[in-house]
Amino acid sequence: MAASYSFASLGELYDEPSEDEVLARLKIAAAGFLPEGWKDWRVRKDHVVHMEPSVLNKMRFCLSALEIAKAFNPDAKCLKERPYRDMKVKMMSWPFCVGLILGPPSLALQVRGSALHCELVTQSVKNLRGLLMTRKEASKLLGDGSETDESESCSQSTSKQRVSTTSRLKCLEAESAATRSLLQEILSRLDRKGNDTGDSDLEEDQAEEFMEEVESERESDAGSTPWRAPEVVLQLANGR
């Protein structure tokens, strides 16, 4: 004996009053998107959709993912995978949204009660399939084409920090090497002029002045600009 089902048209479900703002926006989006005759699509009134993760991931509606995201959050800037799954679960609590199910075929068959009615809906939206964008496509449009998964974003941020730290260390090493080289030059000149007391005192004073300038340079964190030896060192290196 064939099972007896109770059906309602999608138009009847559309006209049912509701105070839920999200459902109201979904209805408006559907009315502006679906093809002529959509109100005649039939839906099993007594059907309860049992969500399994594998089915939920494959579930598709006769409505753009972009419109679904905007219905739940008009200010949405992206559409991540987990929030989109939660939206689908919520939509299954509204008979009108159950009537918008397009796939997978096994689920659509349960909702409509016969292969004939499933085929009717499939053919009705055939010309609209190009507008039924994926979650990633919708997220890109919401975020001006910059949709990036959270894990990828974190990875990119960590990579940038690592590169920045490495560059900074290389700059400090270069500065340190330049400082040691200049100090060696100063000490060499001091040794050569050690017999000249006046010059030696002058060189020592200049060396002390140099060290003070180096400390001052380091405290002011001059890493943001190319390092340049203090003027007194340049004078000593040039033999002045």
* pLDDT (tens digit per residue) in 215-231: 565 555 545 555 555 55
Burial label for 100, CB within 10 Å (0-12, 13-18, 19+), is buried
Query: What integer pLDDT is reported at residue 226 of this predicted model?
Result: 55
Contacts of 156 (CB under 8 A, 6+ apart): 148
pLDDT above 50 (res 92): yes
Query: What integer pLDDT is reported at residue 56 of this predicted model?
Result: 82
User: How far, CA to CA in Å, does 182 sit from each of 192, 228, 237?
Assistant: 15, 12, 7
Judge contact between 147 and 78, C-beta under 8 A: yes
Residue 104: both structure tokens together: 């997978």
Q: Which amino acid is at 82?
A: R
Query: What integer pLDDT is reported at residue 151 of this predicted model?
Result: 44
Which has the closest alpha carbon to 63: 138, 132, 158?
132
User: How far, CA to CA in Å, does 223 sit from each of 21, 72, 137, 169, 178?
Assistant: 55, 48, 42, 10, 14
- How confident is the model over 73-86, as a mean pLDDT? 93
Average pLDDT of the chain is: 77
Judge contact between 17 and 103, C-beta under 8 A: no
Query: What integer pLDDT is reported at residue 5 of this predicted model?
Result: 74
The model's pLDDT over 38-74, given as tens digits with 9 standing for 90+, comes to: 999 999 876 666 667 777 888 999 999 999 999 999 9
> d(Cα 99, Cα 16) in Å, to the nearest integer?
13
> Regarding predicted confidence, which is higher, 196 or 62?
62
Query: What integer pLDDT is reported at residue 155 of this predicted model?
Result: 44
Burial label for 69, CB within 10 Å (0-12, 13-18, 19+), is buried
Query: What integer pLDDT is reported at residue 1 of this predicted model?
Result: 40
Task: Indicate the SS3 state at residue 117.
Answer: helix
Range ranked top by mean pLDDT from 15-24, 101-110, 145-154, 194-203: 15-24
Q: At 83, is the pLDDT very low, low, confident or very high (cuts 50, 70, 90)?
A: very high
pLDDT above 60 (res 6): yes
